[in-house]
Structure 1
Amino acid sequence: MRELLFAATIAATTTFGFCAPGLAQEDTDQKLGTVHFATSCNETAQRRFDRAMRYQHSFWYSESRDIYQEALKADPECAIAYWGIALSLLNNPHGAVPAPNLPLGLAAIEKAKAIGARTQCERDYIDALAIMYVDYDKTPHQVRVQSYLKAMEALAAKYPDDDEAQIFYAITLNVAASPADKTYANQLKGAAILEPIWQRQPQHPGVAHYLIHLYDYPSIAAKGLPAALRYSKIAPNAPHAQHMPSHIFTRVGYWKESIAANLASAQAAKAEHELGDQLHGQDYLVYAYLQLGQDKQARAVVDEIEAAQPGPDSFAAAFAKAASPARYMVERGDWAGAVNLEITPSKFPHVMAVTYFARSLGAARSGNSAAAKADAAKLAELRDQLREAKNTYWAGQVDVQLQTANAFILYADGQYDDALKAMSAAAEAEDSTEKAPVTPGSLAPARELYGFMLLDRGMAKEALAAFEATMAKEPNRFNGYVGAAKAAQALGDSAKAKATYEKLVALAAGSDSGRPTLAAARSFVASN
């Protein structure tokens, strides 16, 4: 009877060409959540395909790819499994497809088309994903992403009862969103699609995961807390599911929760030998430790990251290796340490830019404008490389770093008015865009740095406004409290200074740091 029912389902989807509703089903492998993506493949292949999708929705690409291959062994005519392989080769859709994966993904799509899927729905999925691979050597990545979004919108509209179509459309809305759109129209649209699906499928890993991505923006981050608090429980075996909630925790300044999430993520990633996931989570871990003034713990994680040897094609790992030591120096105001950071060659210009920025900022803050200018010149070269490669987003991010470095070079040279104008422009440029998911944040928010520059020039009122604007966007930052308290103190507002210092002291209650700013905060609170 079961075989007859399965055959009837295949016949229905083949005849009418629609996708069956994708309701998650129970399975013995429940530590990755529950997913059901209805296919026309045989029963064994269907079970394996569903299992692969559980890995896929938690961005566990190597595992999902292997299981799609198992589905093909069970049913060589399961064309949609080649779609799954091509999907896994995208890696994290929020970044460019790794160059070695592009011909492999194209080959998988071509194989899917050559076999010929049994249903129109499956053919539509394959045709949509083909956009990300066909003519990849001629069409820029972002152009392909926008075309893919249109295809997924059409697919979701054509199959309104297929939850998987809606889920993939929702995350693509986030991937294709403009970082300059502060209304977050795409993101809120995607979240509105997923929220009711989550009510129907509370154990679906992709729904919780993608809601976190869709809400991973300053003004809407609090909306992502329910998903952040649930995702790691839905898929406890997935390293990414342990890490991903910390995106929201970072946005709202929940540092202890972020630490717990990323300790679990790093442990899970180590157990599965997923070095990219491990280093990505550890970069977030360093950031959180530094906000609590737990500098020794941060240093220990930095040392572990620096000792790791990831492959050359892992962008997340390369970024973590560059960002974590730079972050450790900049957050603590160790400008001499920043100057001495070593440049590690990378195929990713924006990875090397992180280190050059920290070095240039450190040199300028140390009064060595010549060294700062040399590193800023390297930043300009890297920005231009990214522009030439039509990597518009990262070219813009590196340009903000360059503007910031040049502002502090002007300041080091005594050109204070020009420096303030340049730093204000850098802050505006950073505020007009969004951070990439690969990072918990910039080495230091540009507007926060602007606040310290204003404070140093005796412009306490303007400095306080800058710090408060930064704190509204990035709450519970250690240096945000330091700057705001100092500005209030300079304005003679002892009550506000004390209240802000008290927040800093409470934040760093478990600190092992010898930062002078923390000692000053404790002294001020004690004497007032």
Structure 2
Amino acid sequence: MIKTPLAIAATAAAGLSFAQPALGQSNDEKLGTVHFETSCKSDAQKLFDRGMLYQHSFWYRASQRVFEDVLKADPECGIAYWGIALSLLWNPHVPAPAKNLAEGVAVLATAKTVGAKTQRERDYLDALSAMYADYEKVDHRTRMQAYTKAMEQLAQRYPDDDEAQIYYALALNTSALPSDKTYANQLKGAAILEPIAIRQPQHPGVAHYLIHLYDYPPIAEKGLEAARRYARVAPASAHAQHMPSHIFTRVGYWKESIASNVESSRVANADKEGHDQLHAMDYLVYAYLQLGQDEKAAAVIGEMNAVTGFTETFIAGPYALAASPARYAVERGDWKAAAALQVRASPLAHVQAVTHFARALGAARSGNPEAAKADIAKLAELRDKLRDAKDAYWSEQVDIQRQVATAWMLYAEGKRDDALKVMSAAADAEDKTEKHPVTPGVPKPARELYGVMLLDSGNARDALVAFEATLKKEPNRLGAYVGAARAAEKSGESAKAHEYYSKVVAIADAADNTRTEVTDARAFLTKR
């Protein structure tokens, strides 16, 4: 029997010198070093610091349990309620489920009753309250901006409190506008954290949040040091093993991304953290596809279907389960498979949209524009649902998917000029925003698909421009290199064609034999 990549990794992991602990019992030395000063009893202080280790690696179930243990050790430790409420928000890059928000409001109300012993602790509780205030009426982004302002004031009030500075830097990132290509918030946050990284090199949150702050194409290389450090600082954390791949994906280091996510998936599986496991596996599928190793990508997708222990109302797990099969079909150009994808039931509109997009694109590219129309209509419906929910980011992303699918539907109907206009507009729209941290990337960039359409239309020179623009934003994408090579060859730019075909072979030297584009690249280079 052929072992899958993750099965091989699991076998190897069995020989490691330490076993993975149960939830909330990880060796603190393998999670980094954090000290958050409190007014609580000494035993409670030690527990509080442990809770912060989990919290800074987004290990929320564990952190919440430890903060609850803090209250058992010291019932008057009011700041522990801050830790519980912070844990209930889960990943700060996405809205927390309504159930969690309701629980958090109750926790903060209890904190007011119990009281915190110092003004600093009361200020922490007040700042976090901004994330919960009127959550039934006020949208996530507005509350996030209010929280960021509150954290700015907290950081200014306590300039020597590294934890206040760290959480302010994180808030700057999560509240940044996806359309701000100056990355002002992100660079400001990074400038706060870089000096702390020197003072506290073993702090998991500092390395973690620097990765998020640098997780953007023009500044990604700045995050390489933090990426490599975080994995070493917190080897017992699945998220810490995964996070380096955010930067590796941005710079096109596919083998490094694979190593990162194989380990992350193993640790998450051992700790029964379904969201972390599926999130890592989606990044793993993306990286394998960039190397042309489709069998390995397919094996991971097969394993994903057996993962449990995730929540349908939280995006990470459900998104991965929808996105990986979509990207597997679309990246390989298997349009019939894309058109036949089944929409997985989900309460999240943006999760459903991924599959409807792949289905519509698959139908159109298979020469069946009529079949694409139903899924395009569904994308419009899901976009409107997200708009009604005041989710500006995801409604825009789904609308870009609708535009891309519409362009290819028009193209399949023979309306090439109209199709190219719509496809160009979709690529422009996508370039003005940013990918979400929940995903390594869209199933296929709109700019890359625009290049494909231009090349198919006989406009090789403009296609080459589109593919090169894609590569500037997303280095080492195999499909973009293949497109650039073919466009350069058809444009008569032999030097560029040789350069790009060489890149194809270098990246995908170990690709599956079914990847004919790699075989074609080798054939071109052999003739030269």
Calculate the TM-score normalised by the size of structure 1. Answer: 0.94
Preserved contact between residue 252 and residue 474 of structure 2 (Cα < 8 Å): yes
CA apart distance, 1:79: 0.6
What is the alpha-carbon distance in structure 2 between the residues aligned to residue 424 and residue 513 of structure 1? 33
CA apart distance, 1:138: 1.2
1:477 is aligned to 2:513: no
- Name the amino acid aligned to 2:229: R
Preserved contact between residue 403 and residue 423 of structure 1 (Cα < 8 Å): yes
CA apart distance, 1:383: 0.4
Q: Write the mapping of 1:193-204 to structure 2, written as runs, cut at 5 A.
A: 193-204=192-203
Preserved contact between residue 286 and residue 440 of structure 2 (Cα < 8 Å): yes
Q: 1:157 to 1:513 in 2, by over 3 A?
A: farther
Preserved contact between residue 450 and residue 463 of structure 1 (Cα < 8 Å): yes
More divergent stretch after superposition (311-320 vs 343-352): 311-320
Query: In the alignment, what sits opposite 2:491?
Result: 491
CA apart distance, 1:314: 3.1
The alignment partner of 1:475 has SS state of coil
Query: In the alignment, what sits opposite 1:462?
Result: 462
Query: In the alignment, what sits opposite 1:80?
Result: 79
Which whole-Å deviations, capped at 9, do the CAs of 1:295-341 have from their partners, x for residues lacking one? 10000001111333443223100000000000000000000000010
Preserved contact between residue 294 and residue 513 of structure 1 (Cα < 8 Å): no
Preserved contact between residue 282 and residue 305 of structure 1 (Cα < 8 Å): yes
- Name the amino acid aligned to 1:236: P
CA apart distance, 1:510: 1.3
What is the alpha-carbon distance in structure 1 between the residues aligned to residue 33 and residue 306 of structure 2? 37
The alignment partner of 2:209 has SS state of helix
Q: 1:37 to 1:353 in 2, by over 3 A?
A: same
Which whole-Å deviations, capped at 9, do the CAs of 1:330-386 have from their partners, x for residues lacking one? 000000000010011111000000000000000111110001111100100000000
**Unaligned 5+ runs, structure 1:** 1-26
Preserved contact between residue 368 and residue 412 of structure 1 (Cα < 8 Å): yes
- Name the amino acid aligned to 2:175: A
What is the alpha-carbon distance in structure 2 between the residues aligned to residue 203 and residue 295 of structure 1? 37
CA apart distance, 1:513: 4.1
What is the alpha-carbon distance in structure 2 between the residues aligned to residue 28 and residue 481 of structure 1? 44
Query: In the alignment, what sits opposite 1:416?
Result: 416
Which whole-Å deviations, capped at 9, do the CAs of 1:148-190 have from their partners, x for residues lacking one? 0100000000000000000000000000000000000000000
Query: In the alignment, what sits opposite 1:24?
Result: none
1:55 is aligned to 2:49: no
Query: In the alignment, what sits opposite 2:20?
Result: none
Query: In the alignment, what sits opposite 1:10?
Result: none
More divergent stretch after superposition (432-441 vs 491-500): 491-500
Preserved contact between residue 296 and residue 513 of structure 1 (Cα < 8 Å): no
What is the alpha-carbon distance in structure 1 between the residues aligned to residue 493 and residue 526 of structure 2? 16
What is the alpha-carbon distance in structure 1 between the residues aligned to residue 304 and residue 394 of structure 2? 23
What is the alpha-carbon distance in structure 2 between the residues aligned to residue 287 and residue 152 of structure 1? 35
- Name the amino acid aligned to 2:171: T
- Name the amino acid aligned to 1:385: K
The alignment partner of 1:409 has SS state of helix
| Identical aligned residues as a percent | 64
CA apart distance, 1:191: 0.1
What is the alpha-carbon distance in structure 1 between the residues aligned to residue 91 and residue 367 of structure 2? 41
Residues paired across the two proteins, number: 502
CA apart distance, 1:82: 0.5
What is the alpha-carbon distance in structure 2 between the residues aligned to residue 417 and residue 307 of structure 1? 45
What is the alpha-carbon distance in structure 2 between the residues aligned to residue 193 and residue 202 of structure 1? 14
Calculate the TM-score normalised by the size of structure 2. Answer: 0.94
Which whole-Å deviations, capped at 9, do the CAs of 1:210-247 have from their partners, x for residues lacking one? 00000000000000000011101000000000000000
Query: In the alignment, what sits opposite 1:15?
Result: none
Query: In the alignment, what sits opposite 2:276?
Result: 277
What is the alpha-carbon distance in structure 1 between the residues aligned to residue 392 and residue 326 of structure 2? 24
What is the alpha-carbon distance in structure 1 between the residues aligned to residue 450 and residue 472 of structure 2? 15
Query: In the alignment, what sits opposite 1:314?
Result: 314
The alignment partner of 2:90 has SS state of coil
Task: Please tell me the root mean square deviation across aligned C-alpha atoms, in Å.
Answer: 1.0
What is the alpha-carbon distance in structure 2 between the residues aligned to residue 28 and residue 406 of structure 1? 52
**Unaligned 5+ runs, structure 2:** 1-25
What is the alpha-carbon distance in structure 2 between the residues aligned to residue 486 and residue 241 of structure 1? 39
Q: Write the mapping of 1:411-450 to structure 2, written as runs, cut at 5 A.
A: 411-450=411-450
Query: In the alignment, what sits opposite 1:334?
Result: 334
What is the alpha-carbon distance in structure 2 between the residues aligned to residue 62 and residue 29 of structure 1? 16
